[in-house]
Structure 1
Amino acid sequence: MLSDSITLSPANWTRIGEYGRLYQTAYNMYAQIVLQKIDNQTRKQFEARFFQLEDKLYPWFIRGPVYQSALHSAFKSNSAGIVMTTGTKYALVAKHTITMLRHIGSKLPIQIMYCGESDLTKSKRLMLSELPGVELVDLKNILNIDKCSRGWENKPFAVMASKFRHVLLIDSDTLFLQPPETIFQMPEYVKTGAFLFRDRTLADGTFGYGEKRAEMMRQIAMPFTNNLIYNNSRIMSLKASDEMESGVVAWDKLRAMPAILLTSLLNSNPLKNSVYSVVYGDKETYWLAHEALHIPFGLTTGYGGAIGTLEMSASTSKVCGPLLHLDNSGNPLWFNGGLGSRTPSYNIDLHIPEYWVTESAGDKRVKWDLKSMPYCLHGVLNAPENHTHGRINKLTDAQHKITQKMVDLWIEYFQQ
């Protein structure tokens, strides 16, 4: 192995992809050695070289206080659960999300990850620990982390540190209209062990990234550029500026660990600043890692939508509100961004979920209004199934009861 010659440089994404695939090959070989209980000198020699490689590329487990290696962590993980990260600032948002998860009947255990005592104050830890089925975990007690980050960088590290095999990584402001257990039951997840959600379709170059994202993919996944797992990518065909949304990501750690590790690498120094200059935060890094290693993943059949209030005029109809995602039956599943101001305030600027709209095409026929927040998606109310633009629907009575509970809780927690 070439661990001695590895240099992590954001100037060479092709080389980063090669390193990831080198580790993936070694990881798979080592997994077979362990599973077959081979115990001889050859194993010891391979193991020593493999650990050197992991220490160079992904040192978080091997230098940490709990696990011998990433594979050891994957084998020790079990069951299914929800993982989220939060700091002091959004602890109340996390409480709202967890309370709603229990309200809609989710029984999944929840681990809340933070990084160091200064990240999440003692009073907020106490508040969250009192919620049913919640465990708080300091990332530094599981992984080797020299310096804590305070943002989306922590999300893939939270997956690594979790005790669950089947991990549902959610943002602290993600709200579900159905129990999230349904994601683990989706055929695409069962088949692949990974599941991602598409982002809204915005014109290529909307946020100034444009071709840079496609070029990064071409480099990091160079052997597979003409055979990507997601071969209808809007970014690669320059139809859209964004591809994936990371408010919810599902992973089976036993099957996807090399992709989880590469995702974490892309969200850490010395690579993350270069990554974030091309993509918005962590959103595309999950997809990039899977394509770079050609590790299968499932995708929703639909695209991004909006949930909120209906605005109508003589010439147009649109729904304005947070970004909505559907299940594979076309029903509202989750949205993120919360319902308004995420810190207590006299004016909490509530978004009331009453209607929802979804993209039908995932191309230029979709019309988003980005002039102000929240964004609005144009559509037609009660459009026929073959309609190729946005389709607007009213929440059912059952869905409205759930969103009304969300609103009531938001007012209780945030209205001063």
Structure 2
Amino acid sequence: MSLFAPSRSHHLIVLILWLSTLFLIWQHYHGLAQLSPGQTVKAQKALSTQPEDAQDPEGILSITLPVDRPQPIAPAAPNGVEALLSSIAKSIEYFVNVPIQPSEFSQLGGRLQILSTWLSARETLPSLMSSSQITTLDSHIERTVISLFPFIRHPMQPKNAQPFSTLRQTFQKGSSGIVIAGDKSNLRYLCHAIQNIRTVLNSSLPIQIAHAGDRVLTPSLRRFITNLAPNVTTINVPTLLDPRPLDLQRPDAAPALRPFAVLASPFEQVILIEPKTIFLQPPTTILENHGAYKATGALLFHDHLHGKGDFKERHEFWHGLMKNHRHSQALRSSRVYNEGYAEETDGGVIVLDKSRTSVMLGLLHTCWQNSKRVRKDFTYKSGDGDRDSWWLGFELAGAPYAWESRYGGTIGWLLKQEGKQDRVCGNTNLHLDESDKPLWFSGGLVADETNTVGRDAGVGGYQLPTQWMVDGVFQKRREDLVGRGRERDCMWGDTVRGVGAEETRVLSESIAAARKVDEKSRLFDARTYRKPTKEGS
């Protein structure tokens, strides 16, 4: 999607020249002081050919420039395309000679915003450019992407000079599908999710199980999964991206696999889900009907609102990244960011349209946050796995994204206690569509003593949810009491709603389908599967 109309092509050249020049000067004054002597020399060489008369008439050099901020348009310069290409080349020299460090989340966002203007030029200016100029611009763009995201190279094509465009060409035009990151530890729930989508909701969307090699998901398990339902395939992510900066085969790297699975998937529109995600409506509802998704191409869902005042270091980290950043509407609407609540993102469903350039740039930032060095030292120290890297990536890259309108609710069972308000309890996070109808929930179908009310379903058993609530007060269970039946996730303070007839049908049939999967296989990992007891079955 172009950020500028073709009729403004001449002005776009001038705008990009201004942005690139101002960015270089800003980098010079704000970045060189933090470099080593060797890096300083390289950066000064990269800047040495800057025009002596570079000006800053609007006084905006000290801030990061979002691509959507209106800028003054200077008179058209002669031979504007050549000047544009020269300015881009100088910026690239800085990018290459002064690489992004693992702590520089905001710096990467600034560079992506500059890259966005170059990609817009590539989309809107071909009629003003010769074939050689187009080739030069393509080369500049590819060199920039490689300098920022070395993992983008296909491991079988290490010398490919155009890995970014090559990757984008693998996206099947107009395609959409579901991606689930899987391994042995979540196999049972993954199979339940497939049955819920394909067998109960009759969705024909292709389902792709992303994994990180035979050690985490063996060939026999992959065969079992793909035989569960039609149009279910697997994808080995480290064979499609350079695995060296990623290190995805480590046991603790499971969350990091998810954004790279989205990047590597051939689907243009991707619904990324967790294995414990259960849909109450066909997932195509989001692609076809969700207005916020259609407007931005990137839809995220909120976690519960809880733990206000907890995780102060997390909030200090976030606010530090946003010091010189113009907050998007999505960030301004965030109660977690602005009011100090504990967790922002429910990663159970993330929906992206990779055909949009802005979405690709936001996704690349998120992937970078989940690369080995960055996630180890920063991303996972300041958040819960990959979850908050999604909104941070889009926010810092200046890419439009949208949140669902409500924070997470709860679907489960009614708990009545004398002297207390009625509560809905269950280890779930419920999300509604734009018509306030239940759409999906995280937490899975399996019930145990920590999330049921009334008759114990038994470890590995099931119990049909009967009530739900949103917009209430959420109390997260205490982990030190889990397993003793003394503490549950509960919500109170708003209307208790009964699960409707259609949702009950979907849940009942999903539980029946899950039981059949359980009966078919004993390949499940012992940590997530035990044969249901007679009392709890």
TM range (shorter): 0.7 to 0.9
Give the Cα separation in 2 of the matches to 1:316 and 1:73: 54
Selected match of 1:121 from 218, 227, 245:
218
Match status 1:243 vs 2:335: no
The answer on whether the counterparts of 2:154 and 2:239 sit within 8 Å (CA) in structure 1 is no
Please give the per-residue CA displacement for 1:361-393, whole angstroms capped at 9, x wherever unaligned.
xxxxx24243355853332xxxxxxxxx43221
Range 246-255 or range 395-404, more displaced: 395-404
The answer on whether the counterparts of 2:269 and 2:352 sit within 8 Å (CA) in structure 1 is yes
CA apart distance, 1:283: 1.1
Give the Cα separation in 2 of the matches to 1:93 and 1:116: 19
Match status 1:378 vs 2:491: yes
* Equivalent in the alignment of 1:337: 443
Please give the per-residue CA displacement for 1:244-301, whole angstroms capped at 9, x wherever unaligned.
2111011110111111111100111221121111111111111111111221122222
**What are the within-5 Å matches in structure 2 for residues 156-305 of structure 1?**
156-185=259-288, 186-207=290-311, 209-219=313-323, 222-225=324-327, 227-255=328-356, 256-273=359-376, 274-305=378-409
* Equivalent in the alignment of 1:325: 431
Selected match of 1:88 from 176, 184, 193:
184
Equivalences, count: 396
Match status 1:108 vs 2:205: yes
The answer on whether the counterparts of 2:103 and 2:374 sit within 8 Å (CA) in structure 1 is no
Aligned residue identity for 1:70: F
Selected match of 1:312 from 406, 416, 421:
416
Change in CA separation of 1:209 and 1:318 when aligned onto 2, cut-off 3 Å: farther
Please give the per-residue CA displacement for 1:54-103, whole angstroms capped at 9, x wherever unaligned.
11211233344478433443354221111111012222321110011011
Change in CA separation of 1:296 and 1:94 when aligned onto 2, cut-off 3 Å: same
Q: Secondary structure at the match of 2:222?
A: helix
Give the Cα separation in 1 of the matches to 2:139 and 2:508: 57
Please give the per-residue CA displacement for 1:292-342, whole angstroms capped at 9, x wherever unaligned.
122112222221011111111122211111111111111111111213379
The answer on whether the counterparts of 1:211 and 1:238 sit within 8 Å (CA) in structure 2 is no
Change in CA separation of 1:38 and 1:85 when aligned onto 2, cut-off 3 Å: farther
CA apart distance, 1:232: 1.5
Please give the per-residue CA displacement for 1:184-242, whole angstroms capped at 9, x wherever unaligned.
121111121111111111133334545325324415xx3313x4443221133224222
Give the Cα separation in 2 of the matches to 1:299 and 1:100: 25
Q: Secondary structure at the match of 2:286?
A: helix
Q: Give the gaps of 5 or more residues in structure 1.
A: 361-365, 380-388
Selected match of 1:153 from 242, 256, 276:
256
CA apart distance, 1:356: 1.0
* Equivalent in the alignment of 2:115: 23
Give the Cα separation in 1 of the matches to 2:262 and 2:121: 23
Runs of 4+ off more than 6 Å:
none
Q: Secondary structure at the match of 1:54?
A: helix
Match status 1:9 vs 2:101: yes
Q: Which has the higher strand share?
A: 1
Selected match of 1:62 from 153, 171, 176:
153
Give the Cα separation in 1 of the matches to 2:103 and 2:401: 27
**Higher Cα radius of gyration:** 2
Give the Cα separation in 2 of the matches to 1:296 and 1:399: 32
Give the Cα separation in 1 of the matches to 2:112 and 2:101: 13
Q: Which has the higher helix share?
A: 2
CA apart distance, 1:30: 3.7
Range 270-279 or range 228-237, more displaced: 228-237
The answer on whether the counterparts of 2:108 and 2:365 sit within 8 Å (CA) in structure 1 is no
Match status 1:357 vs 2:469: yes
Task: Give the CA RMSD over aligned residues.
Answer: 2.6
> Identity, % of aligned pairs?
25
Give the Cα separation in 1 of the matches to 2:230 and 2:320: 42
Range 403-412 or range 87-96, more displaced: 403-412
Q: Secondary structure at the match of 2:205?
A: coil
| Higher RCO (C-alpha under 8 Å, 6+ residues apart) | 1
* Equivalent in the alignment of 1:385: none
Q: Secondary structure at the match of 1:135?
A: strand
Aligned residue identity for 1:278: S
Range 205-214 or range 243-252, more displaced: 205-214
The answer on whether the counterparts of 1:111 and 1:134 sit within 8 Å (CA) in structure 2 is yes
Q: Give the gaps of 5 or more residues in structure 2.
A: 1-91, 449-457, 519-528, 532-537
Give the Cα separation in 2 of the matches to 1:36 and 1:43: 10
Give the Cα separation in 1 of the matches to 2:263 and 2:130: 27
* Equivalent in the alignment of 1:368: 475
Change in CA separation of 1:239 and 1:211 when aligned onto 2, cut-off 3 Å: closer
Change in CA separation of 1:60 and 1:351 when aligned onto 2, cut-off 3 Å: farther
